[in-house]
């Protein structure tokens, strides 16, 4: 005789857990949301002239194919065959139904998660690293430089460069470099060189170290270092792991697949949650759903989740700012905490960015998405509950999405609503065990950021005529 708990487990086993697509069903185009928006996002500005930046202003940093994608007005862009071929190493990625998490929460909500941790790097980042390496190799570039926080992006780009015969040099934010030695080794295994940022190798790094030799680093500083090196050598270009339009567009393969997967089971989500660092996994999952919403075909609530210690959408301002700390990039109108804001060294290194994708910021301003900031201990509590029911140890970044998902599922428990919740599980946390150690041993804390700290970082926003 089975007891009640065993019966429950047996029942769960006959339910469908994964909604899968065949390799032949993988979408072959990326989606560009820009032409479908009620108004276009404001242009990037040249930092010297403060005039709208033209494609040529980006040439020292990016190959023309990517610049054209950055400013494209086409709704769809074909994914090159060579890129599709690499994508098929792990794509289409699975859509899971979290039956056991639902049971553990006692919620009538139906929870789904789109899992990007199946990629070689362990996250969504190869979805854009691969095309970026491909287009750079096609343009004859010798080396790519980049920043990395958690190390996921550095791993992804190093992997992609290895496939397309490019050299790769990575500046990793000091706090993450120290917390995650095995990430660095994985990046090196794929062939890239890794530097602890701020470094002595660049003027941007030296300036920061002169003021504070123990600086924990930030994504803004690491970007400055990688951009500085790329801008000085015509054979070197820079690759950004998030924020820009073309990066978010490459990630839309996630949402396009998820739409096909939901169509297979005749379900549409009521709520979609995803974490936002620079906005790429969130934009990638949600933009195809937003397209359907704008076309009146579905009406999900779409919610971005950010860390309470780096809340660019919920506590930042919408203004022109630099994408990096040293002020070398074009000016972008975005939600920003100020380029000098150095977030506390929380474990979600990939969410420690002072700004937000200008496209996503614009969409937030249009009222098409919501945003929520969550403290890290709540995120790790959610991650542990998720791991103990679904068996996947999430990267620290998507623990934010899981915390918001659990909040929503518990609200459904109160109201009795059977909402369908879709969560972006954009990476695994196998190299983030130091973060789990901090949480499980009770050493993890939530430091509230004072208003004075926000105000100080916002005091020196660049002056841009209206």
Ligand X SMILES: Cc1ncc(COP(=O)(O)O)c(C=O)c1O
Q: Which residues bind ligand X (CB under 6 A)?
A: 123, 149-150, 152-153, 242, 275-282, 350-351, 395, 397-398, 426-427
Q: CB neighbours (10 Å) of residue 28?
A: 14
Q: How many CB atoms lie within 10 A of CB 282?
A: 34
Minimum distance between the CB of residue 281 and ligand X, rounded to whole angstroms?
A: 3
User: Is 46 buried (19+), middle (13-18) or exposed (0-12) by CB count in 10 A?
Assistant: middle
Cα–Cα distance for residue pair 327/1, rounded to 1 Å: 69
Give yes or no for a cis peptide into 198 (omega within 30° of 0).
Answer: yes
Check if the beta carbon of residue 217 is closer than 8 Å to that of residue 197: yes
Nearer to ligand X, 199 or 399 (CB): 399
By C-beta, is 99 or 250 nearer to ligand X?
A: 250
Q: Measured from the CB of residue 151, what is the shortest distance to ligand X in angstroms? A: 8
DSSP code string of 433-448: HHHHHHHHTT----PP
Counts of helices then strands in the chain (DSSP H, E) = 18, 15
Residue 92, both tokens: 């289409």
For the bound state, the minimum distance from the C-beta of residue 373 to ligand X, rounded and expressed in Å, comes to 14
Among 383, 384, 388, CA closest to 100? 388
Smallest distance from ligand X to CB 454, Å:
20
CB 304, CB 360: distance < 8 Å: yes
Of 94 and 278, which CB lies nearer to ligand X in the complex structure?
278
State which residue, 276 or 340, has the beta carbon closest to ligand X.
276
Minimal CB distance residue for ligand X: 350
Positive/negative CA dihedral, 22, 23, 29, 32: positive
**Of 150 and 372, CB closest to ligand X:** 150
Nearer to ligand X, 102 or 257 (CB): 257
> How many CB atoms sit inside 10 A of residue 75's CB?
14
Closest contact distance (angstroms) between CB of 123 and ligand X is 4
Residue with tokens 């096609």: 138
In the bound complex, what is the minimum distance in angstroms from residue 392's beta carbon to ligand X?
12
Least Cβ distance, residue 397 to ligand X (angstroms): 3
User: Which of 353, 412 has the CB closer to ligand X?
Assistant: 353
Please, what is the Cα angle at 162 between 130 and 113, to 5 degrees?
A: 40
């Amino acid at each position: 005789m089975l007891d009640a708990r065993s019966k429950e487990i047996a029942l769960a086993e006959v339910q469908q857990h994964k909604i899968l697509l065949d390799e032949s069903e993988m979408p072959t185009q990326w989606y560009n949301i820009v032409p479908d928006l009620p108004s276009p996002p404001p242009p990037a500005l040249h930092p010297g002239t403060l005039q709208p930046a033209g494609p040529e202003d980006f040439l020292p940093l990016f190959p023309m194919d990517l610049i054209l994608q950055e400013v494209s007005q086409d709704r769809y862009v074909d994914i090159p065959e060579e890129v599709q071929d690499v994508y098929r190493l792990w794509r289409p990625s699975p859509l899971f139904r979290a039956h056991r998490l639902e049971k553990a929460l006692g919620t009538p909500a139906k929870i789904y998660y789109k899992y990007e941790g199946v990629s070689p790097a362990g996250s969504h980042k190869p979805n854009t690293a691969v095309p970026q390496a491909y287009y750079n190799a096609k343009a004859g570039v010798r080396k790519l430089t980049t920043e990395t926080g958690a190390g996921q992006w550095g791993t992804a780009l190093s992997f992609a460069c290895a496939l397309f015969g490019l050299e790769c040099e990575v500046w990793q934010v000091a706090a993450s470099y120290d917390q995650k030695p095995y990430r660095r080794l994985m990046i090196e295994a794929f062939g890239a060189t890794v530097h602890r940022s701020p470094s002595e190798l660049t003027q941007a790094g030296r300036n920061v170290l002169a003021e504070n030799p123990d600086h924990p680093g930030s994504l803004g500083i690491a970007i400055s270092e990688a951009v500085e090196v790329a801008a000085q050598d015509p054979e070197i270009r820079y690759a950004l792991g998030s924020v820009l339009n073309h990066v978010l567009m490459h990630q839309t393969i996630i949402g396009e697949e998820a739409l096909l997967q939901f169509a297979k089971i005749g379900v549409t989500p009521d709520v979609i949650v995803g974490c936002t660092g620079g906005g790429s996994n969130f934009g990638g999952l949600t933009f195809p759903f937003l397209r359907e919403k704008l076309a009146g075909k579905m009406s999900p609530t779409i919610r971005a989740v950010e860390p309470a210690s780096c809340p660019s959408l919920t506590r930042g301002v919408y203004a022109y700012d630099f994408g990096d700390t040293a002020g070398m990039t074009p000016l972008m109108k975005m939600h920003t905490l100020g380029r000098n804001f150095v977030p506390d060294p929380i474990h979600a290194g990939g969410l420690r960015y002072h700004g937000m994708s200008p496209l996503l910021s614009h969409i937030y301003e249009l009222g098409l998405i919501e945003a929520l900031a969550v403290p890290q201990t709540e995120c790790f509590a959610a991650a542990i509950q998720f791991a103990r029911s679904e068996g996947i140890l999430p990267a620290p970044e998507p623990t934010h999405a899981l915390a918001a998902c659990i909040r929503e599922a518990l609200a459904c428990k109160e109201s009795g609503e059977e909402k369908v919740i879709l969560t972006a599980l954009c990476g695994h946390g196998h190299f983030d065990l130091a973060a789990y150690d901090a949480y499980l041993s009770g050493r993890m804390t939530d430091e509230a950021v004072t208003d004075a700290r926000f105000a100080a970082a916002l005091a020196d926003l660049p002056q841009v005529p209206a």
